[in-house]
Amino acid sequence: MKAAERLSHRAMSAGFTVAVAESLTCGRIASALGATPDASVWFLGGVVAYDNEVKYDLLGVPRGPVVSREAARRMAEGVARLTTADLAIAVTGVGGPAHAEDQPPGTVFIAATYFGETVVEQRHFPGPPERVLEATIERALELGLRASLGE
């Protein structure tokens, strides 16, 4: 079972809502969640914040680097606030092939906020941009699932 399906089952059984804020993945996490059974019950939606100004103005990311632990945290907390979701997942990073903000390709920051408690992790996924995106999506969903379980 894929991470999106596991998160769907967990949200349905535990009765919580989910939202996402995506930069690097450009809506692909939302698409994965929306394709699961009963998504309309627990999935509230999300914000694709590809442009930095959207991160700053809508999600409350402080001006400065957006490929960072703080940006991921603020993105998750911002979309949770905007949607009133119980669980919010956010991703920002560098897919490649070039560096960005002095970060090498494959550098990703993922955050999950569950009922006000936020966890953030930094990952490095090797490979071409498509592989980085796939790994980021799967890991972000796993982090959201773990956060909802209190892990």
Q: What is the pLDDT of residue 82?
A: 98
Between CA 97 and CA 112 the distance in angstroms is 26
Tally of CA atoms within 13 A in the half-sphere of 57 that contains its CB: 7
Between CA 148 and CA 121 the distance in angstroms is 15
Question: Which two three-digit tokens encode residue 88?
Answer: 């919010």
Q: Is the pTM of this model over 0.85?
A: yes
Beta bridge partners of 107: 124
Q: What is the pLDDT of residue 72?
A: 98
Domain holding 134: CATH number?
A: 3.90.950.20
| Residues 42-84 pLDDT 10s | 999 999 999 999 999 999 999 999 999 999 999 999 999 999 9
Question: Which two three-digit tokens encode residue 87?
Answer: 């669980």
Q: What is the pLDDT of residue 151?
A: 84
3 state DSSP class of 35 = coil
Counted domains in the chain = 1
Which residue range(s) make up the domain with 11?
A: 3-148
Q: What is the pLDDT of residue 131?
A: 97
Other Cβ atoms within 10 Å of 130 Cβ, number: 10
Regions in the chain scoring below 70 on pLDDT: 1
DSSP character string of 67-122: SSHHHHHHHHHHHHHHHT-SEEEEEEE--SSS-BTTB-TTEEEEEEEETTEEEEEE
